[in-house]
Amino acid sequence: RTFSRTLFTFTKKKKKKKNNRRKKGTGPSIPQTDPPSIPVCDMWPSGVFPVGEEQPYAHDFNVWRTTNEELREAERLIKDVYQDVRQAAEVHRQVRQHMRKKMVPGVKLFDMCEELESFSRKLIKENGMQAGIAFPTGCSLNHVAAHYTPNKGDDTVLQYDDVMKIDFGTQINGRIIDSAFTVAFNPRYDPLLEASKEATNAGIKEAGIDVRLCDVGAAIQEVMESYEVELDGKTYQVKSVRNLTGHSIAPYQIHAGKSVPIVRGGEATKMEEGEFFAIETFGSTGKGFIREDMECSHYMKDFHVGHVPLRLPRAKHLLGVIDRNFGTLAFCRRFLDRLGETKYLMALKNLCDQGVIIPYPPLCDVKGSYVAQFEHTLVLRPTCKEILSRGDDY
């Protein structure tokens, strides 16, 4: 089962500086407060939000797209979709910028996630299914690669020697931003973080219209596995976690059918114009292979499930709560607690057993290993690719 989530030494040459970093565009009408409290839509009342990083397509067969007038017009016709997802991206940037200051040794992970989600809700001006959180805040530690968020009663505290993956999402009208970064305090982990960050950038660079997914995976693995990290006198080659992947994204559907491998040898399916992708990489000092383990916190309604007759009244009630509040977006137990639901574990298990809800337990490499992750959401526009979630931080 494949789970979608989830340095070369060169002679130093003076490189021409590429001018493809994030476009600043028009600045906000009003500045953000500290701590942030102004919804992003109020900061840009025109409804025109900052553009992500625009990169030209790297392959010769796409060069003509950059200046084609017909394609530029096609982009103008769907600009509303771009504004929705750019607004979600700006919320993601502002929330993570503020929360980084709170991610310090000694912080309780439960409190940190609650605070991060509170800022997300405020800045996106949460409004039912139209605007809000796209999935629970992942804060997986060390050998846990993904899908961990604290349940009620989990008192885990962040330690100096931890490697924490922060993976959270925002959405406007179902257009999802899925972006992640890794936090580590001990500089010994720097090469591990660098490996995942640069591998993600290599995947982004390779991505494009009509590019095969297997070629993106090969580019990622080549960069990832050129790094080594020394821990306690032992040197580890950083491995790409071979059964974790990036994924295509559709409205209200975080994993939309295409998987972007992070090792070579994947499928030859091609990326297509207009598609949204989460390019994410996981670098590990362990086996580079994950399995499900530990208590489950993440759940999501099966996107394709039809009507399933339910006998348990509590299960019917819980499904109603899930449909109204999350639809087909992922949720966690903390979200149900926040809505005032109690004693729902039997009902939740019943919905999982019936195949209506899919549980997503934490994904773990071997104990004692460390996993780093970086992830960006991009869109393959007709004329260029736009890395929507790019910020000054990563």
295 included as an active-site residue = no
* 149: Cα within 13 Å, side-chain hemisphere: 24
Which member of 54, 90, 117, 167 is catalytic?
Answer: 167
- At 6, the pLDDT band (50, 70, 90 cuts) reads very low
392 flagged as catalytic:
no
Distances (CA, A) of 230 to 22, 44, 191, 233: 34, 46, 9, 6
Cis? peptide before 35, omega within 30° of 0: yes
What crossing angle do the helices spanning 345-353 and 313-325 adopt, rounded to 10°? 80
341 in catalytic set: no
Q: Is residue 344 helix, strand or coil?
A: coil
Contact 207, 251 (CB under 8 A): no
247 belongs to the catalytic site = yes
Catalytically annotated residue among 92, 147, 255, 376: 255
Placement of tokens 């700006």 in the chain:
90
- Select which of 178, 198, 215, 341 is catalytic: 178
- Residue 46 backbone phi and psi in degrees, to 5: -70, -20
Residue 10 has pLDDT above 80, yes or no: no
Query: Distance between CA atoms of 16 and 257, rounded to whole angstroms?
Result: 38
Candidates 92, 147, 247, 376; catalytic one: 247
**What are the angstrom distances between the C-alpha of 104 and each of 5, 129, 158, 336?**
26, 32, 7, 27
Out of 90, 117, 375, 386, the active site residue is: 375
Question: What is the rounded CA–CA span in Å between residue 9 and residue 226?
Answer: 9
Half-sphere exposure (CA, 13 Å, Cβ side) for 288? 16
Q: Confirm whether 114 is a catalytic residue.
A: no
**Cα 93 versus chain centre, distance:** 12
Burial environment of residue 311 by CB neighbours within 10 A (0 to 12, 13 to 18, 19 or more): exposed
Give residue-wise pLDDT tens across range 71-127. 878 777 777 789 999 999 999 999 999 999 999 999 999 999 999 999 999 999 999
Which tens digit of pLDDT belongs to each residue from 330-360?
Answer: 999 999 999 999 999 999 999 999 999 999 9
Q: Is 155 a catalytic residue?
A: no
